[in-house]
């Protein structure tokens, strides 16, 4: 299912905290990746997941030189589409990298908007500098093949304890990564934006000294005030 660029742009305007709240109201309670953090605090991305799954390495599986036509990591990278987020299931094992700076560069050239792993990156300082939004559980210079064998692409994976299906919408900010089914993306984006707006209004009120009671959650009076504020704002 295609999610429009407009929706993806809207999703990037909400924080991962707001998005998880909206998803929770829709019954999805396990949507934020555990122990996966941005390499750069200012990261921001949104796009459909392109998944890669690692299993534990076995000595006979990954013989050098690596063959770009059969190695599933490489095959996957050459299939990534513009706008995708590359999501790597590394079984939360950080004893080796899952990717280095050259592959990250190729991913970027192909138009991907971010990379996510619940393992580690190698060359992580270079990846961080490159500007590609990148999320991981650790840094590790060891090449993937010591610990990880690339097994499949574009199947459902686990990443940071969250289920990620190919095409799921993956949104990252300075806090981490949230995942949602694509059919929910549009309504989540809109509800989140509304919630962001309402919460920014509430935040201002709180900063101005309002008590929590009546303000957060907003009671009828506060909601009316908010609607008025929104209207005033719109008519500016």
CB of 235 to a copy of itself, least distance (A): 26
Residues 24 to 53: which contact a copy of itself by CB under 8 A?
Answer: 24, 27-32, 34-35, 37, 41
Measured from the CB atom, the residue of 220 and 236 that comes closer to a copy of itself is 220
Q: Is 102 in the site for a copy of itself (CB under 8 A)?
A: yes
Are the beta carbons of 123 and 103 closer than 8 angstroms?
A: no
Round to whole Å and give the CA distance between 191 and 193: 5
CB of 31 to a copy of itself, least distance (A): 8
Measured from the CB atom, the residue of 32 and 83 that comes closer to a copy of itself is 32
Over the window 186 to 205, marking each residue x when it contacts a copy of itself by CB under 8 A and - when it does not, the resulting string is -------------x--xx--
Sole binder of a copy of itself in the list 45, 52, 77, 80 (CB under 8 A) = 77
Q: Is 1 in the site for a copy of itself (CB under 8 A)?
A: no
CB of 111 to a copy of itself, least distance (A): 11
Round to whole Å and give the CA distance between 159 and 33: 7
């Amino acid at each position: 299912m295609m999610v429009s660029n407009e929706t993806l742009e809207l999703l990037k305007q909400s924080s991962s905290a707001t998005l998880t709240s909206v998803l929770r109201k829709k019954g999805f309670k396990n949507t934020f990746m555990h122990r996966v953090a941005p390499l750069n605090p200012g990261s921001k991305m949104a796009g459909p997941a392109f998944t890669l799954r690692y299993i534990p390495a076995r000595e006979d599986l990954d013989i050098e030189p690596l063959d770009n036509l059969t190695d599933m990591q490489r095959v996957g990278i050459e299939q990534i589409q513009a706008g995708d987020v590359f999501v790597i299931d590394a079984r939360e094992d950080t004893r080796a990298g899952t990717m280095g700076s050259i592959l990250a560069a190729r991913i970027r050239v192909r138009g991907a908007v971010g990379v996510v792993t619940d393992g580690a990156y190698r060359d992580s300082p270079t990846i961080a500098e490159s500007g590609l939004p990148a999320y991981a559980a650790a840094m590790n210079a060891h090449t993937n093949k010591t610990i990880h064998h690339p097994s499949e692409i574009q199947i459902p994976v686990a990443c940071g304890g969250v289920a990620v299906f190919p095409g799921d919408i993956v949104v990252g900010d300075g806090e981490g990564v949230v995942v949602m089914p694509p059919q929910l993306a549009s309504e989540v984006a809109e509800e989140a934006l509304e919630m962001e707006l309402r919460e920014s209004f509430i935040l201002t009120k709180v900063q101005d000294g309002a008590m929590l009671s009546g303000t957060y959650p907003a009671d009828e009076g506060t909601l009316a005030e908010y609607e008025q504020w929104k209207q005033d704002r719109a008519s500016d």
